[in-house]
Structure 1
Amino acid sequence: MSAYPPPLSGSAQDETAELRPRFDAAGLIAAIAQDAETGDVLMLAWMNEAALAQTIATGRATYWSRSRGSLWVKGESSGHTQEVVEVRVDCDQDAVLLKVRQTGGACHTERTSCFYRRVEADGRGLSFPGEAG
């Protein structure tokens, strides 16, 4: 049995005051982690129903690992935790925004954010703004 009621149709989903997440065919929803103080986007990961419910219940960002096929709590092994300050959903509830207090780097590369490269104007190259070298 689902922890959440099913999504509504059309504009009813956009205006409901109930949490009715719209998971995709694989049972996942995109989750963006944003620094609660700076507004910087830190990372994108995926949640299934259990990950979303656990995140809300514990206040610790919990995601679904598509490669391992299991839940993972951010920082469980690295110590780079995400304390959830606020959970938001977009208009049709098919994406989640977590406003977090990040301890350590959010990226597995040890960088503050996973979004550390910029696509160059030619559409082919990448640059690393803010990094020496």
Structure 2
Amino acid sequence: MIRFKRHEGFRFTFNTPIPAIFTIEEVNGNVVETSEGMATMMDISPNGLKLNTPLNIPISKLGQVKISVRFQLNETMFQVHGMIIWREDKYNHFLYGVHFSIDERVQEDLIRNIKSYVKSATD
């Protein structure tokens, strides 16, 4: 199992989860094509996010499934790529921790939008 320490400056938990769409891009090093899955984004940081979905993503080994996640924050549409690093089974849904594989420019844009979202949510 891959262990990650949270060194990001902040993690924001949404009061109302944000709708997201994801696709699985790679499993165990093999490129795959899947249909889109619906999810909600529970929280986000500059380095990753937590997804909630009724879909059971087949994971034989954590850190071996790469996904693409699309979501809108403020007026900006994001498509980020990342790796599933943990999974938690709930009664009728699954939570997934996704660690981003994004460049610095996208990360800076994401940070700006998270801060703007937080500011508008507290006004």
Give the alignment's TM-score, normalised by structure 1. 0.31
Higher strand residue share: 2
State the structure with more CA Rg: 1
More helix by share: 2
